[in-house]
Structure 1
């Protein structure tokens, strides 16, 4: 079975200048997105993941855990989580407490996701050294694991130092962690730790290779890998016809990727900070030649746009090739309206999700 999720990066689709922000339009965005997420439960979605970004119109959920808490009070079945909390923007002891509180507020429906982050410009604005993100990330998770499972814990690391510390409350349900993974080292590290991984943007063949590397590292660590530990994020848009889907999705994607370029793409993609060298090939298309085109994204499989039959066939093929047990769908992006987004979410639920749910993957 392949589970189907919503993902929302929640960008501001109007004037992206700080002085161009309209509070009334922001209010409308929050309101109809929340309405869409609530409707997703009635449509049978397995859950919703939110994202964390800061300081630009690319994203309006700097505190996605607030969205989890809000939606938890309006739903009863769907799982709710963040993909991901960027550890460099958090004190891990404080984040462990907040995660524990959300476990209770969601009545055990919380999905816990963490990542070291990859948006160079966000870190520069915050003054956080990019070369420290991996060490901070790994130490943060080590500390949080202690805080969740031990009434009192001691931690002496490079960034944090605690004696006889505790959090209150500790979670009722032991968190099963998701980790966002774009680099081979993160994939192998997560597998060895027994964490689930969420991958994105890379074509299916590349993700299949990452899945294989995950399996090998898990087995080497004495763990049993499975499709249920693998999630793939895809930008997806469904309309009644292929032509209508492209007509609506192409300008919306153009808008959101312009925001992404301004918010996240480093100025010098060939000389990235230590630990991020492997990201050069990912960022380079955004700064060379004609940039990333709609056709490039569709051909790569990172974007899946079309009629229900087109989207169903492409996502089923990708899930089988990659061996992922979860498809996380980024439905709302750019200037897509409430009506267009909700129609896409409905068509996917009724005509795409059942085919994915019927798959048998190991």
Structure 2
């Protein structure tokens, strides 16, 4: 069985100039997005993952834990989480407290996602040195787990110190599922050794298989057999009634997404990235040019577009190749309208979700 999730970046698509921000348009966007997440439960999705970004209309989800709490009160079954809270932008004690609260507010449906972050413009604006994000990340995750598991805890680290303290509340469940976002081999191996699930986006299907093979090998080194359910792949998805219509709406939508992504995430100088981010020189280089071919991204599997049958077959083939047990549908982006998004989600629920539930990888 493969689980189906919505993944939500939550872009503000109207105007990138902050002077032209329209609060009424933003309110309408929040309203219909919430409707779409509620509909995900009706369409058979297993859960919804939100994201965290700052300083740009690429995402108006700077505090995604608020979205988790909001959606929890309007749904009953689906699991809800963030992919991912960026630890360098938070006090980990606060993240531990919020995670514990959300576990109660969701009735045990919370999925915890944590990441060290990779979007250089955010770190520059926040004044956080990227060279220290891995150390901060690993220390933060350890502190969060300690705070969740111990009635009283002491932590003395490089960045954070607590002496004989408690958090109130602690989580509803004894153990919370932890996901990390990972592309670099070092983070993938670390996640495997910790027993965390992980997801990746944009990489070609064959490369995703190689990434998961590395995860399996690292898990085996610590005596753990990795499962298909340890890994998820995230893809942009657009489904319409015909192949041509799907492509006609998907290509400009992705062009708009790419323009926002390039400004919000890509390193300014790919020949001189911060220490610890060397892996991303090759990953980001195609996005640093003037154009990313829509057809090329479809060919490598980064975009799944077409009729319900076409998209179903594309996704099933990818999951069988990669060997992963979670599919994250990034299906609302760029210029896609409310009507186009809701139709695509409905068709995914009717035609793709049942096929994924029946799939063994």
Normalized against structure 1, the TM-score is what? 0.98
**1:185 aligned onto 2:186:** yes
Structure 1 residues 230-249: aligned runs within 5 Å: 230-249=231-250
* Structure-to-structure mapping, 1:207-286, within 5 angstroms: 207-286=208-287
Cα distance in 1, alignment partners of residues 21 and 299 from structure 2? 34
d(CA) in 1 for partners of 2:205 and 2:38? 30
Structure 1 CA distance for aligned equivalents of residues 180 and 209 of structure 2:
17
Could you tell me how far apart the structure 2 residues matched to 1:298 and 1:53 are? 26
User: Using the alignment, how far apart are the partners of 1:212 and 1:147 within structure 2?
Assistant: 32
Does 2:67 correspond to 1:72? no
SS in 2 for 1:125: helix
How many residues of Structure 1 are paired with residues of Structure 2 in the alignment?
Answer: 360
Tell me which residue corresponds to 1:354. 354
Q: Deviations over 1:190-227 (max 9, x none)?
A: 00011111111111111101111111111111112100
- Residues 24-52 of structure 1, C-alpha deviations (whole Å, 9 max, x = no match): 10001000000011011111110000000
**Cα distance in 2 between the residues matched to 1:236 and 1:196:** 22
Deviation at 1:10, TM superposition (A): 0.4
Backbone CA RMSD of aligned residues: 0.8
Q: Deviation at 1:354?
A: 1.1
* 1:201 aligned residue: 202
- 1 CA distance for matches of 2:147 and 2:65? 19
Match of residue 318 from structure 2? 318
The match for 2:339 is: 339
Q: Distance in 2 between matches of 1:310 and 1:319?
A: 14
CA drift of 1:360 comes to 1.0
Q: Distance in 1 between matches of 2:266 and 2:331?
A: 22
1:356 to partner: Cα distance:
1.2
Task: Structure 1 unaligned segments of length 5 or more: list them.
Answer: none
- Farther off after superposition, 109-118 or 279-288: 279-288
The answer to whether 1:100 aligns with 2:100 is: yes
Distance 2:113 2:119 in 1: 17
Report what 1:140 is aligned to.
Answer: 140
Q: Using the alignment, how far apart are the partners of 1:249 and 1:21 within structure 2?
A: 25
- 2:114 matches 1:129: no
Q: Partners in 2 of 1:182 and 1:69 — Cα distance?
A: 28
Runs (4+) of structure 1 exceeding 2 A deviation are none
TM-score, with length taken from structure 2 = 0.99
**Uncovered stretches (5+) of structure 2, i.e. residues with no partner:** none
Determine the C-alpha separation between the residues in 2 that align with 1:259 and 1:143.
34
Name the structure 1 match of 2:57: 57
Residues 251-285 of structure 1 show CA distances to partners (whole Å, capped at 9, x for unaligned) of 11111110111111111011100010010111111
Give me the whole-angstrom Cα distance separating, in 1, the residues matched to 2:353 and 2:94. Answer: 37
Deviation readout 1:318-359 (Å, 9 max, x if unpaired): 000001100001010011111000000000110111111111
Q: Could you tell me how far 1:308 is from its partner in structure 2? A: 0.6
Q: Distance in 2 between matches of 1:56 and 1:110?
A: 27
Measured in 1, the distance between the counterparts of 2:82 and 2:268 equals: 28
The answer for the alignment partner of 2:292 in structure 1 is: 292
Looking at structure 1, the residues matched to 324 and 84 of structure 2 have their Cα atoms a distance apart, in angstroms, of 18
Aligned mates of 1:53, 1:179 — CA distance in 2: 16
